[in-house]
Each structure stands twice: as C-alpha cells, then as structure tokens.
Amino acid sequence: MHRGLPDLLRRVRAMGLETCVETNGTQPHLLNYVITSGFLNRILFDLKAPIEDEAYSMAAGVPIPASIIKESLIIIKKMETGRILRTTVAPDICGEQEILLMASQLKELGFSRLALHGFVPGETLDPDMKDLTPYTDDKIKRLQGAADAVFS
C-alpha cells in the first residue's frame, strides 16, 4: 500500500463512490488506518501461503514474518462485510496440504471462506514460473471443495 492511499480513499469516498483495496497484508498499520477510518467498502486479501514464516517467505519471494500477515488478518476482521480472502493455487507451490492448512488457520481466526483462483502463466516476477503448467479447472474446483469443507 502506498502511503498516499488513505488520502486518495478519503477523497473517493467523499465523492460518494465505493472503494476497494487489494492487499498482501504486509503493512498492517496502514491497513488498520484505512479500515478504522471508514475509507473502505471492500478489501481483497491475497494470502500467499500458510501463515508460517518459512512457507510465507518462500511463496512471497522475500522474507515476510508470518506474524505481520496474522496481524493484518486480525485487523481486517474489523470489517463486518466486504472481506474476500483468496489465494492463487499453482502446482508445486500451493497444493492441497497448503490449502487445507490455510483454511484451518483462517477458521481459527474466525473467517468463513478462502477463495481459490488458478495461477495464470506468463509474465511473472519469478522467471522460473513463466512456463509452469497451471491446475485444471476441475482440480481447482476439487481444491475449493476441500477448503470449503474445512469451514463447514
């Protein structure tokens, strides 16, 4: 999140428009500010991996303490509506074990769903992923069903 985002969101809301932010959760202090200030109607939280230091840092490609991600998740619980937690599923990176663990962790934090979407190969920050073969739609549906079952 850019530090100028709160002012932009405030101005957009003042015009009577709705706002949405997509975040990776690495700046909980800024996230807390825009949520408690009432600047957001909706938030999309991109969860990269299970909330564990090594797994999260590996998936993100940079060191990220899992405690920061957990703090951000606790903060977005303040929004009663408009929260979407999602993760990108890709072979060898985020499989069924990781999805089930993330779903369990989110359930423990009081969330009720983790939306999955498939990895799309092409231009990526990691050149090794450029040619990665994505999961089929059927596989993603099966994984989504497994995640949904955790929340039932």
Q: Where are the domains of the chain?
A: 5-151
Tens-place pLDDT, residues 48-77: 999 999 999 988 889 999 999 999 999 999
| pTM (two decimals) | 0.89
Q: What are the phi and psi torsion angles at 117 (to 5°)?
A: -140, 150
Q: Please, are residues 132 and 121 in contact by the beta-carbon 8 Å criterion? A: yes
Q: Please, are residues 25 and 68 in contact by the beta-carbon 8 Å criterion? A: yes
- Mean pLDDT to the nearest integer, 98-127: 90
What's the one-letter identity of residue 20? C
pLDDT at 66: 96
Could you tell me the fold of the domain covering 5-151? Answer: TIM Barrel (3.20.20)
